[in-house]
Amino acid sequence: SGLITLDPGFKNTGSTQSAITFLDGEQGILRYRGYDIEELAEKSNFLEVSYLLINGELPSKTQYERFSQRITTHTLVHEDIKKILDGFPSVAHPMGVLSSLICSLTAFYPNSLDPNNTQEEIELSIVRLMAKMPTFAAWAFKNKVGHPVNYPDNELDYCSNFLKMMFALPAAKYEADPVISKALDKLLILHADHEQNCSTSTVRVVGSSQASIYASISAGINALWGPLHGGANQSVIEMLEAIKADGGDSKKYLEKAKDKNDPFRLMGFGHRVYKNFDPRAKIIKKAADEVLAKLGIDDPVLNIAKELEEAALKDQYFVDRKLYPNVDFYSGIIYRALGIPTDMFTVMFALGRLPGWIAQWKEMRENGEPIGRPRQVYVGPTQRPFVPISER
């Protein structure tokens, strides 16, 4: 079988050729289909960016209207999915609920299991995913807080509909604040794709066995959940809260992060690819300032975050290792300002990453990529005879 090159964590292994996202970690550049992330965050919207990622080009006005219209008409989910939701205890983490509900779509749309789905069938699955994910995400939250679920409101735009499903209560009128909708839309754009990261590689590997697109995306949600990946946004706020509760001494935590005998890491710092500022972190930091100012919120945790960042950027340990704030460092602060509870942060990341996962799944299938199957170097025992249990 020839010589096998070991590369744990695939630090230097390219798994595919891709035309979706360009990332230069040394210079801190991120582009979707050639468009700078800064420009998309400023001028575009999440559905337009989703179309771009999935189809390769920005939509014409007609294409955009058709795309958003189709998504809007599929936001409702099968009523039996509510029974699955009801089976989850309220302590269930919304990420586990979300991946389960997404996977349940394989049962409601079993033709997605056929690897020979036509182009139209695949497009419909994609529309369903984009349409139903916000419904599931909001329902996962409702299950946690014990409130009745809200059905989608198709008069609203993507983000306002999601916010209404999250926050409207039967006894009160609810209208999403446009400042909040806009900020959320920007955050989703910033999270929409990031080439071959852990969850995206998971989606591609699961999809490479020709599993259903729903099963592949569900697997991606699970990969995103971990604290070293998307789960970091929740960990950042928990860390900042802990620092605040401990008297706000950020220097002490910086020392802990540097101590190799202490498992503590500065959450929201460091990145496998960025050895410079994460361009998304720059935009989010600015957006956090703007959103908090517009909503008139004074969050002491933001000040701790800024102090921590400033101290880390000057610290030799962080400088030597090129550890900069990543996308998760400030996103939690905005989510909090938008009223989103901490254990929903990673769900928000998943909502944003969905079009990226879809685009990568589609590219992998269209390119007819082979099944993902890494090799290993075996280091276990050599051949030995079986010993019956009575003689062990």
Applying CB under 6 A, the span of 124-132, 224-232, 291-299, 335-343 interacting with ligand CMC comes to 224-232
- What are φ and ψ of residue 98, in 5° steps? -60, -50
Name the minimum Å distance from CB 253 to ligand CMC: 10
CB of 134 to ligand CMC, least distance (A): 20
Pick from 265, 275, 282, 306 the residue near ligand CMC by CB under 6 A. Answer: 265
Q: Is the dihedral of CA 33, 186, 325, 263 positive or negative?
A: negative
Q: How far apart are CB 224 and ligand CMC at their closest, in Å? A: 7
Q: Helix (H, G, I), strand (E, B), or coil: what is residue 23?
A: strand
Minimum CB separation of residue 323 from ligand CMC in Å reads: 5
Sign of the CA dihedral 24, 28, 32, 36? negative
Q: Does residue 257 bind ligand CMC (CB under 6 A)? A: yes
Out of 185, 193, 278, 328, the active site residue is 328
Interface with ligand CMC, residue 267, by CB under 6 A: yes
Q: What is the 3-state secondary structure (H, E, C) of 122-181?
A: HHHHHHHHHHHHHHHHHHHHHHHHCCCCCCCCCCCCHHHHHHHHHHCCCCCCCCCCHHHH
d(CA 353, CA 292) in angstroms, rounded, equals 24
Q: To the nearest whole angstrom, how small is the minimum distance from the Cβ of residue 59 to ligand CMC?
A: 28
Out of 21, 75, 104, 197, the residue judged to bind ligand CMC by CB under 6 A: 197
| Side-chain half-sphere CA neighbours of 312 within 13 A | 27
Six-digit token string for 203:
């989606």
Instruction: Report helix angle 279-295 to 178-191, nearest 10.
Output: 170
Select from 45-53, 73-81, 113-121, 318-326 the region that touches ligand CMC (CB under 6 A).
318-326
By C-beta, is 82 or 229 nearer to ligand CMC? 229
Question: Could you say whether residue 328 binds ligand CMC (CB under 6 A)?
Answer: yes
153 or 241: CB nearest ligand CMC? 241
Task: Calculate the alpha carbon distances from 299 to 244, 294, 302, 338, 359 in Å.
Answer: 11, 13, 6, 12, 37
Distance CA 254, CA 272 (A): 20
Of all residues in the shown chain, the one whose CB is closest to ligand CMC is: 270
Q: Which of 271, 278, 299, 343 is catalytic?
A: 271
Backbone angles phi, psi at 269, to 5 degrees: -120, 145
Known catalytic residue: 271? yes
Q: Does 240 bind ligand CMC (CB under 6 A)?
A: no
- Count of residues interacting with ligand CMC (CB under 6 A): 20
343 near ligand CMC, rule: CB under 6 A:
no
Burial class of 42 by CB neighbour count within 10 A (0 to 12, 13 to 18, 19+): exposed
Q: Enumerate binding residues for ligand CMC (CB under 6 A).
A: 9, 197, 228-230, 232, 257, 265-272, 321, 323, 326-328
Task: Just list the catalytic residues.
Answer: 271, 328
